[in-house]
Chain A
């Protein structure tokens, strides 16, 4: 039995849940409580990451009932890495949000609604954070279903928070798609249980076999997860939802939420039997996403829409490399995870910066943003650095990920994959520079508006972007963590 002093496995889940309840209990907008619990959650997650790195796999049988009867939490390297990633992005987003909601108060009639938004933002966000950690750490498929629902419902709540008609419609789509995905997942779980008599994830994955019930179960589960991850062609709901949400919410949705379902998909699909049989399927869809998403991103007029479509394209990268998981040298997994983390940081930073522009300028039309650098140098720099990582240019985590993708693909003789990745990063460069050229443009603004945004909004975005850069230089640490199996 694990003594409480040694196991941190449970805390990244409970602390945010507790925080969410306390924030909900608080009468007025619970900014301090929210920030406090965000810091505590982040701290707990980082400690867990460190523990796994130092001591190996952590596991915790809830209620001391072992599977298959009970549920156990389990943190291997991959799970711990995702929790750590969530902590870093989550901390930056939380700090940003503190400044964001403060800066939006204008002292006029709209403040009441804005205060109401903040009042629900904190509990919803903390619940989402806890549910994501629960998702990464859970070792039980039914429990994962509940976590998925928690994630989906809180994401929908956050999406709708802005209250504008487009975001409400987007939230509705998001909710329906999510429910469809969850139900498909649950039916798959039913088939799994019928066949294996267990809900333990590891046991189910171990028992995967090409029998009709198992195939059907896996197909249902995978379809549900793909739908929720918004892999092309299931991406239709994502851009409006991500782009119309409040800016910290956009960062959360793009940087973190899609990674949850992607991670689950990875857990099911990393098995070699599966990869050998149908591994090309996610790769083909991923390829479609890369091309389609990039073209769509390029033709957007609004910055947040551009960033949102870029998420569609980048999700493609998360799936296109699935065939590489069969790499004998074992570099496929690191490539995928490296990409996932860098994307989380870079995309988070870009959405946060875009949100700062939107708040300061009152719009996010790309062509009219020229000169924004002079008012918001730090945010502009953060956006550019995030874009750098997205394009896979050095020095950034994106560069390392791309390098791993291409070398691994060439080693395996998957030329189409290598070429696709290179082509894709060219397309990425095209749309990222469309935005960056406007933001960094030296054109002088006619009038210099009063600075309306809090410093924490600028610097938190930069910190996140710098984390993406740092990944390009200290690559060994996350890979060592990932190597804990």
Chain B
């Protein structure tokens, strides 16, 4: 497997060489299909068990119960994956590298933004609230909020200035930190990590969802933005400095 993009062969005489690879891939697909269609292979799944434990889980929605109670540890790590994504993207940012993104053309986007962003925030909040007993939840809400953020970033909207720059990183960390502290608090109360049951469970889950949705939305927007906040502030006077204190 060669990666890197250089040294490609002209398209027309690649065809013959592709053939064996294609044949192998088709064979692979056939094997996958055979495994999938193998009779009697389908088992019952965990639906029944989830239903049986739903009462203790604190929420009506089964997916939410799985995500934020039965397998909350997965979701905790999930939040870290997003945060990690932001770290990686930011660590790759070089102020001297990118031609700064030109603001996309004004009027239409601006009005769209005025129209959509409040709506998106509302829809996001609704999804968060709805998640406790039907489709919806932190991820969906976070995705919508993230979308709103992306819209704002698209034309460097003045609305962004409402959000304090110094608050960005703490905002990103809010979800994972809150999740961790809930887990540790549960241990402090004598339970296992992340152990919470009805009746407190529903309250905790809503709080968790709120924090997670907020951070997820922010993370998604930050992924799109692609640059750490410190650098944004310094963009105008991009002089290298010796002083370590000035760095931040």
Contact = CB atoms under 8 A, between A and B. Distances in A.
User: In the complex, is A directly touching B at CB under 8 Å?
Assistant: yes
A124 interface: yes
Contacts of A147: 77
A21 B173 contact: yes
B77 A64 contact: no
A21 B169 CA distance: 10
A213 interface: yes
Interface string A85-119: 00000000000000000000001110111011100
B36 A213 contact: yes
Contacts of B19: none
Given A194-B42, A197-B43, A17 B70 contact: no
A127 B88 CA distance: 12
B80 A28 contact: no
B71 to A, nearest CB: 6
Interface in B192-246: 192-197, 230, 240-242, 244-245
B184 A160 contact: no
Interface string B46-83: 10011001000000000000000111111001101101
Contact of A63 (B50, B78, B192): B192
A377 interface: no
Interface stretch (B27-35, B119-127, B129-137, B153-161): B27-35
Contacts of B49: 68-69
A63 B196 contact: yes
A173 B4 contact: yes
B41 A108 contact: no
B218 to A, nearest CB: 13
A143 B73 contact: yes
Given A28-B244, A71-B73, A21 B176 contact: yes
Contact of A28 (B94, B240, B247): B247
Max chain A C-beta neighbours (<10 A), residue from B53, B176, B193: B193
B47 to A, nearest CB: 9
Interface stretch (A148-156, A335-343, A350-358, A425-433): A148-156
B92 interface: yes
A331 B194 CA distance: 39
A179 interface: no
Interface string B1-22: 1011000000000000000000
B144 to A, nearest CB: 23
A126 to B, nearest CB: 11
Interface in A176-233: 176, 191, 193-198, 211-213, 215-217
B195 A63 contact: yes
A24 B45 CA distance: 39
Contacts of B117: none
B118 interface: no
Contacts of B169: 24-25
A398 interface: no
A24 B80 CA distance: 12
Given A27-B248, A116-B91, A146-B81, A216 B70 contact: no
Contacts of B196: 63
B223 to A, nearest CB: 12
A127 B176 CA distance: 12
A429 to B, nearest CB: 32
B106 interface: no
A215 B31 CA distance: 10
A63 B193 contact: yes
Given A27-B248, A60-B193, A134 B77 contact: yes
B91 A211 contact: no
B173 A1 contact: no
A399 interface: no
A94 to B, nearest CB: 18
Contacts of A194: 36, 41-43
Contacts of B36: 191, 194, 213
A157 B91 contact: yes
Interface string B133-166: 0000000000000000000000000000000000
B180 to A, nearest CB: 6
A457 interface: no
A191 B73 CA distance: 22
A171 B244 CA distance: 28
11 contacts: A14-B180, A18-B180, A21-B180, A24-B87, A63-B72, A63-B195, A70-B71, A146-B78, A150-B84, A195-B41, A215-B35
Interface of A: 1-4, 10, 14, 17-18, 20-21, 24-25, 27-28, 60-65, 68-71, 107-109, 111-113, 115-117, 120, 123-124, 127, 131, 134, 142-143, 146-147, 149-150, 153-154, 156-157, 160-161, 163, 169, 172-173, 176, 191, 193-198, 211-213, 215-217, 236
